[in-house]
Each structure stands twice: as C-alpha cells, then as structure tokens.
Structure 1
Amino acid sequence: MNVSSEATRSFWTLDTSLPNAPRLEQDEHCDVAVVGAGIAGVSIAYELALAGRKVVLVDRGPLLGGMTSRTTAHLAPICDDGLSALIDMRGEALARGFQESQQAAVDRIERHVATLEIDCDFRRLDGFLFPAAWMDEKEAARECNKEYAAAAKIGAEAEHGKGVPLKGHESAPILRYPDQATFHPLKYLRALLADFEKRGGKAFADSAATEIEEGDKVRLKCDGGSTVTASNAVFATNSPINTWVKIHSKMAPYRTYAMAFDIARGTLPDALYWDMDDPYYYVRLNPGPGKTDCLIAGGRDHKSGEADDGAARFVALEAWIRALVPDLGGERARWSGQVLETIDFCGFIGRSPGNGNVFIATGDSGQGMTHGALAGLLIRDLIVDGSNSWEAVYAPDRTPPAALAHYVNENLTTVKNLAGYLLPGEVKSADALEPGEGGILQDGLSKFAVCRDRDGKLHRHSASCTHLGCIVHWNSTEQCWDCPCHGSQFAPDGTVLNGPAIRPLG
C-alpha cells in the first residue's frame, strides 16, 4: 500500500522514518513471493526466511507505508468485538483457538524483541475495560459479568475491579485483563526487515503487482515491467488484490481516528484502556523524552466512504479524552486509518480459496498488530509443514451460519452504492471547488470524481472504482478517494493507494 501520501501523519512517523528499499528492476525467482510490506507481510516474510525459504517482498509504496503506520499498536489478545460475541459467533472451541493464537502472536513479538535486542518500547501491561459515558452502574456491571464469564469459558484471564484513573470512572465496575502489551510498531518492523535482508531476503518498494498469473508457479508482474516467479505467493495487502469477490464480500472497510497528546509522566498509569461503547474508544501511552510521555486516543469509527466529517470527529475525540484526562497537554499528531471488519470477528489468514499455493492475510478486525504477527506463524506453517493447529479459526473459505445476518447487512453497502448511479451528482461545477475539496460530478450519463488538490490543481477521473465499479467518495481529511464497498483508496490523480483495486481511476 501507499497511504503514506495521505494528508495526515501518524505519531509513529514523527520520530521514525520508513525504511529505504529499491524498486524492482529485474526478474526474480524465489520460493515465496510476499506482496504487501506492512506488519503481516513483513512478519510472514521474516518467519519464512527464518525457516530457510528464499523470499522476495514487494510493496506498491514504501515499505511499512500502509495502514501499519497508522495503527495505535495495542497488542491485545482479547477479541476486539468482545469475547462473548466471539463465542456466540464461533463457539467455545474456535474462540479458544482465537485467544490462544492471538496470545501466541504477542509472545512471538516479545521473543523477536528479545532475540534481536530491538529498542521499540515493548512492554507487558494491563488492559482495562471500563464503562461508556452513557452507561449506569447496573448496565456496566452486567457487561463486565458477561465478558468475565466469556473469558472464563475459554481460559482467558480476567479480573473484576472497581474504577480506573479516568475522571468520572474512579469507582465504576471494570474488568482487568493482565498480560497485554504494546510497542512502537515502526521501530520493531524496521529491525525485522534489517534481519530479513541479512538472511538473504529481498525487499522492493514502489513496485505494484499489476498482473497475477496463478498455476504451479505464481508469476507477479510489477508496474516497472519486471516479474517475480515463485513456488508460493502470499497477498498481505490489507485487502487482497488476487481475488475479486470471495473474500471482499465477507468484510467491510471502516475508518478510525487517532490523536496523540503530550502528558506529564505519572499522570496516568501505563496500561491499555478500552471503553464499552460501540464503536468503542481506546487509549494507551508511549514513553517520551524527559518527564513527558505521549497519550494516544482513538475511536469515532464509521464505514469508509459513508461520512466526510473527519474534522468534527477529531473535535469529538479530543473532547472525550480531555474530559477523562483534564491534565492532558498539547496535541502532537492526528491521523486516521482503515480497518477491515470481518463478518465473524476473525481475520482471513490461510490458503486463498481455490488455490493450493496462494495464501492471503486480511481482515484485521481492529487487531492488525496481533493478526499480522499471527499471519507470520500460520502461513509459515502452512507453507513449510502443510498445516497449523489454528487453521480452522482463520480459514478464508469459511462463512459461519451465525454470521449470515452480518454478511447480508455489510453487503447492503454495495447494493446501496451501486444504486447511487441513479442519483444526481454532488457538485454542479468542478470550477467551483476550492483547494482540498472534491465530489461527484454528473456529466450526461456519466459520473466523475472531481477534486482540487491543496496545491490548486484540478483532477477529473471516472467515479467508478476499478475493483468492482462502486462509486468512490471524497475523503477531505486524507485528501483521497475512498471506495465504501471494499476499501480501495485513490490519490487525487487517480493513483491506487490501497487495494483491492490494482488499476488507477479512469
């Protein structure tokens, strides 16, 4: 991916640059080709290199320049949608497998940090689930009891408690989840990439896979004309670019927002904090220089392409966290990212449906860091050994019966979007657009995505996403076009920033 060119910058990029890598300018032959250099792709490539495989890693943009750089990096094995919901959806056995595998992912990150002596602020800490602002004590206690019982069923450790050090919640019913973790994702992944290359792995940036030929060997032709030929291929591109519908109809893109603030050390205990709202808010700390740390808060999620009010969401997010932490300092950064929510709360990691030597890792469901590290373990085992004990939890070809309602509801977005071809445009004239503005223009029977970038240049392209033809929508916060159906993103000039689309806007 190449969302590094979007308008906002995450906190992580303020002190850590993205690694340099050459463009693919010659043909390569290898055991495994990995497409996508975020935490999933890098973890997969690294684990396979440790297993002795010859690996080539390619990305359409800079390495680590995709959604991984826009995370808030909670290393939490607890299901993002709640353990009770996970058990209801998948049953106790598979829910237990999910919990065990997510914990194994955190353990694996910790092991790499220790082995490579990575200075990335990795640390174990508690996670706290506390009431949403609208909940009374009875409702909060009921939610705590439900999640505590779910944790007990699958062997996840949780403890009842009273209060967290957030204003208004000092005596509220809460749950404490011990043995969570967090880190600086870019510092960690830069170290993995460095060791990957020391072990003979090859990594190429600014090399978009534009043609994919599957068979006994997988051939990936990149936009520079060079080809990677591999015995196995892995697509870890946030949203997979090698399949058109099979996976994309089982997950939906959501935009989430984050802000970083200075905070005096000791103001708030170092922990992970999540409220019980839906969508929920989340908070963590990151060590800073001297006596000042950084507090990172996130939330205000919405379906991608269905709202263009990022500025208002940042205002609401800041108001929420300042109400809880009145002594919060000045703002350091604000950014947004996109997550892919699956219909049953678990990622799709494993063999791509219908392909024996093609694998995918997608559907982070708000847990991109642990899903990414887990993908390294699971896909390594599938390629090297042919199986993995958690394979059924994440099998890409699954559609659990309990998820049918979610499946239908999420796919109504596509139906509603395609009906938009019958509606009038959003702007009457492209000439009236101010710098930073964009919208859909009706011209005869055709719809065009028109925008004026912040330098004042006017751009006009077809409004049809090149993946499956949905109408894109302008994202004024990130200065890009979002497809609400399956998560593709395009720059003002039509260039693909995020898949599953692989061709620019027409």
Structure 2
Amino acid sequence: MEASERTVSVWKEEVMPITAPSLEESTTADVCIVGAGIAGLTAAYLLQRSGVSVVVLDRGPIGGGETAQTTAHLASAMDEGFEQLIRLFGHEGAQLAYESHASAIDTIEAITRGEGIECEFARVDGYLFLGAGQAPDLLDRELEAATRLGFPGVERLERAPLAAFDTGPCLRFPQQGMFHPLRYLAGLVAAVLRDGGRVFEGTPVTHVDGGESPTVWTRDGLHVRAKAVIVATNTPINDRFAIHTKQAPYRSYAVALPVPELGVPRGLYWDTEDPYHYARLHRVQREDGGFTEMVIVGGEDHKTGEADDAEERYARLEAWARARFPVSGEMIARWSGQVMEPVDGLGFIGADPGHSKNVYIATGDSGQGMTHGTIAGMLLSDLISGRENPWTSLYNPRRRTLRAVGEYARENLKVARHYAEWLGRAPLSTPDDIPRGGGSVVQRGIHKVAVYRDEEGSLHEVSAVCSHLGGVVHWNSEEKSWDCPCHGSRFSPTGEVLQGPAFEPLEEVREPGAGDEDQEPEAPEELQRKAS
C-alpha cells in the first residue's frame, strides 16, 4: 500500500488484535465499565486487584478507540503550561495537576514491571522549545512556574539535543515516559481476566440507569446490573447536556517517518506553537533482527467537523518533521484521532454531573490522554472503593473554573453557529456531483440528507441530523465518516455510530411529503433556541 494511503496508526499495525467475546447473556458485577481504552482498563485492573469484580463492555474491539490513535507521550510537563494552570487553579491546584500526571507515569511503570508487560516502557527526557518568532521569556516564565510547583530537575538549556536542527533555548523536563499503548492494554486485559474480571467487545451500550442498583443496557436488550458504573467512552454517552458544554472535540493528526538507527536521542519533543507540534522516537524490530527507527510527529489540530483538508495537514506535519529530524525515507504511516479539550485544560473525572447516582465518568483527555486515562483509573477506583484521593476536587466534573469563562463562551458560541446551519441550505441540492468514496450533505426540501457514494457507485442516504442533540454532521473524507462539530459524535458512511456521545445511528431518510421541496428548511423549536 502507498504510504500516502495508510491511515492506520503504527500501534495497530504492529500488534495482533486483542480479542474478547461479545456479551451473550445478562449478568451482574460489583462494577460495570463502559469503554475498554486506557481509562476503563486501568480502572478494571485496579478494582479487580482490590477484590472488586468488574465487567468491561466495549462497542468495538478492545483498544480500538482513541487509545489506539495516540502518539503515546507520557508527560507530567503539562500541555496547558504550568503558568496557565497556576492562573486557572492557583498554586495548590496546579501542583496537584502536576503530581497526578507524575503519579500516572509512576503507576504505568509499576504495573508494567509488576505484570511483566512488554510494552517498551522507557523513562526519557522531554524538551520544550519555542515556536517561530516567539519570545524567550515564555520559557523563562514556564521554568519559574514549574520550579515553584516543585518539578524536580527541570532546567533551561541552550538547545535540545537535535543535531539536524537548532531549536534555540529549551526546557528539559526529566523523568517523562513513553510506551506502546496497545501492548500495555493487552497486558492489562490479561491481568484483569486472570484476576476474575470479564471483558466483552462488540457490545454496544445504549443506556445507563443510575440509582441504588445501576444497570447498563446493550443494543441486544441484555443488561449488566452493578453497584457502580464507570462510563469511560472518551466522551460520555450517558450524559446529554451536563458535560458537553464544558469541553470541545478536536481532530489531531500524526505521521511516522523513518530516521537512522540511533540518529536521534530518545525523548519527547514539543514546541510552543498553537496548535503545538509534538514528537517522539519509536523503534520496531524487523524480521532480520534489526530495527526500524522512526519519529512520530503530531499536531495540526482543528475543531471536529470544521475542516476537511487532511492531506494538507499531513503535508505540513511531514515538512515540519523533515526540517528538524534526519528523516531517511518515505512516510511509514499516518493517522488522526479525536481529543476532547476541556475549557480549563484538565479532565473531568468523578461522579456523573447529570446526577445519576453511582455512575462515574472519565472524559476531557486533552492532549494527554494516556496520563489522564491512568489518573481516571486511579481516581475512580478510589472513589468507588471509598478511599480518599487528593485529586477528587481538582477533577470533579461539576467544577466551574471562573478564569476559564472566556474559553467556555468561545467554544459554545462555535456550537451555536453550527446549530444555525439548520436555518441555511446545504451546499448541494443533488448528489450527482458526489464522487465514488465521497459524501456530502444534500438539501431535499426541508430535510438535510447525508449522502455517501460507495466505491461501486451506489448511493447511501441517512439523515444529516446527529442523533445526540441534533447538530448537522459534516463529511470527513480522510476517515470516511460523518462528524458532528457540536459535540464530536462520529458515524460511518452509512450512519452507524463510530464514536459518542451519540449511541443511536443516524436515522433512515423518510420520503418527503408533497410540496416539501419548495419549502425553506425550518429547524425544530429546540434547535432554533440553541442556534440563538
């Protein structure tokens, strides 16, 4: 396959699928966990190790969600920046944020060693350097903030250790980490099963009831009754409103390019641009016993559904990498993933803010999903087991960070603008111009229809109205999906759910009534209110 056509992350290509059966009969457990990514499986591992029985359910394959799309940085140097975290949460809150991410890396290391998981875990230094034209005092302020918070060993250097590119001044953050995320998940699954836990894939969840005896319902009408439920589905599928106004979905892109073996020091590298670039080294053993070394570079983020120019974004990432690393050949792989960006930079982990008793959520991974997910597993296992945890208030899903009110308003204004699409006409009135393998929203009377033409030329039509809260979906030509820009739900070309918060597919298209074609589209009253 041509390198430019490869959109599967390097982790998936290197690992045999982690397989599990589908749920075939209703059952019970102490805790039911919805979502088999790093957050859900970390919680399952820690709970099962403490004698709490767990059942894990996932819509797709184990590890088939956003954990497989990561670039797998393990960083306690925060994406948001320590100076910004102090402004938002004060000294104590920012210190807890740093300590929680550092503890997450320690926990991954301890589990890896204790379980003998061969996931290439390594401690490395992280290097933060300036973007083009940015003032050096930005690094000075970040160094001062990190030092005040007690980050040990952080220092300012004249340049990062990249022979091919002079970064200029940078900060070195010691004791960061990296690993192979799917190998790590495979180890977690094996340990959970060994300890008596049960893990099921291919089991879509359609409803979560809270209460004294919470119940999780599946698409096939089966249920799991438990004492507590954890919803760890990247963004909650059980909550229609409460959390979705406080975070926004973004697409992020990654490329993998070959570099000479031992040609680049192992480490994490990222800059201060907005959106920022982030890079790490990864090594794959070949059949001949040698190694293929590659640099994985990520960035070029944009709000989900607001751009369809992946080719250009991959090209910019590749150009950025070639200007800074000794790239020695053609692109090996490329892929994209979705991150949920909380308005204040920290995840939402804890009791469901929608007031469903004994239901817990983990979301808002931002750009640090591997550590946020591990924090979620640690914090939620403590909350369910009745243990005190110093991070409870910091990650409380009900929190309101007053100093982030500007970002809150900006993100929700974007959502309102997308709801206003109901009041305009779709760009096409006929599917004739849709190419094979392509899709577009077509106006048909008062209806907006998501039309996909498959590779054989056949048309597939479903409603363009997201089944979560009624946003109008946009076509993503890179991922061949319908993406909702309002809250991040994603659907297959024929309307099946790929990613929540939606759990119902896009509706089948109904035959238009007589005279509909001549009417202007009018949004339902509720959507008009949102658009205003």
Relative to the length of structure 2, the TM-score reads 0.91
What is the percent sequence identity of the aligned residues?
45
Q: 1:364 Cα deviation (Å)? A: 0.2
Partner AA of 1:436 in structure 2: G
1:61-112 deviations in Å (ceiling 9; x for gaps): 1110001100000000121111111111111101100111111110000001
Q: Partner of 2:426 in structure 1?
A: 425
Change (3 A) 1:478 1:167: farther
Q: Does 1:208 align with 2:207?
A: no
> 2:138 — aligned with what?
143
- Read off the aligned partner of 1:348 and give its amino acid letter: F
Displacement of 1:386 in angstroms is 4.6
| Greater relative contact order, per chain length (Cα 8 Å cut-off, separation 6+) | 1
- Paired position in structure 2 for 1:170: 166
Provide the residue aligned with 1:492 in structure 2: 493
| AA aligned opposite 2:334 | R
Aligned residue in 1 for 2:59: 60
Q: Residues of 2 paired with 1:502 and 1:246: CA distance?
A: 17
Partner Cα distance (2:234, 2:456) in 1: 29
The answer to whether the 8 Å contact 2:267/2:280 transfers is: yes
In the other structure, the counterpart of 1:110 is 109
Residue 393 of structure 1 aligns to a residue whose secondary structure is coil
Are 1:230 and 2:226 counterparts?
yes
What's 1:3 paired with?
Answer: none
Task: State yes or no: 1:153 paired with 2:148.
Answer: yes
Contact 1:352 1:396 in 2 (8 A): yes
Q: Deviations over 1:124-162 (max 9, x none)?
A: 000000111333xxx1x2111011011012111310001
The residue type paired with residue 107 of structure 1 is D
Distance apart, 1:276 and its partner CA:
1.0
User: For the structure 1 residues 171 and 120, does the alpha-carbon distance in structure 2 shift closer, same or farther, using more than 3 Å as the test?
Assistant: closer
Q: Is 1:322 aligned to residue 322 of structure 2? A: yes
Q: What letter corresponds to residue 239 of structure 2 in structure 1?
A: T
Please give the per-residue CA displacement for 1:325-372, whole angstroms capped at 9, x wherever unaligned: 244322111000000000110000011122341100000011100011
**CA 1:454 to 1:282, structure 2 compared with 1: closer, same or farther past 3 Å?**
farther
Q: What displacement does 1:171 show?
A: 6.1
With over 3 angstroms needed to count, the CA separation of the structure-2 counterparts of 1:115 and 1:456, relative to structure 1, is farther
Instruction: Measure how far apart 1:449 and its partner are.
Output: 1.1
**Which deviates more, 59-68 or 260-269?**
260-269
Query: Which is further off, 327-336 or 340-349?
Result: 327-336
Instruction: Give the aligned partner of residue 300 of structure 1.
Output: 300
| Secondary structure in 2 matching 1:25 | coil
Kept after mapping to 1: 8 A contact 2:256/2:296: yes
**1:28-43 equivalence runs, <5 A:** 28-43=27-42
- The alpha-carbon deviation at position 7 of structure 1 amounts to 8.2
Q: Return the offset for 1:165.
A: 3.8
- Contact 2:72–2:181 (Cα < 8 Å) also in 1: yes
Q: 1:169 offset after TM fit, Å? A: 4.6
Deviations 1:451-496 (A, max 9, x none): 2234543221111111100111110000001111111100011000
1:291 CA drift (Å): 4.3
Structure 2: segments with no counterpart, 5+ residues: 508-532
- Partner Cα separation in structure 1 for residue 207 and residue 130 of structure 2: 49
Letter in 2 for 1:175: L
Q: 1:415 to 1:203 in 2, by over 3 A?
A: same
Residue aligned with 2:220, SS: coil
SS of equivalent to 2:350: strand
Q: Which of the numbers 282, 289, 307 marks the counterpart of 1:286?
A: 282
Q: 1:438 to 1:211 in 2, by over 3 A?
A: same
Task: State the one-letter code of the partner of 1:352.
Answer: D
How far apart are the structure 2 equivalents of 1:43 and 1:34?
10
CA RMSD of aligned residues (A): 1.4
Matched, 1:449 2:450: yes
Query: Distance in 1 between the 2:84 and 2:454 partners?
Result: 43
**How do 1:268-417 residues align onto structure 2 when only pairs under 5 Å count?**
268-289=264-285, 290-353=290-353, 354-417=355-418
Query: Who is 1:119 aligned against?
Result: 118
The answer to whether the Cα contact below 8 Å between 2:6 and 2:333 also exists between their aligned partners in 1 is: no
Change (3 A) 1:168 1:117: closer
Supply the distance in 2 between the matched residues of 1:350 and 1:12 (Cα, whole angstroms): 29
Consecutive unaligned residues of structure 1, counting only runs of 5 or more, are 1-5
Rounded Cα–Cα distance in structure 2 between residues aligned with 1:222 and 1:250:
27
| Contact 1:250 1:342 (8 Å CA) reproduced | yes
Partner of 1:91: 90
Deviations 1:20-52 (A, max 9, x none): 111111011010000011111111111110110
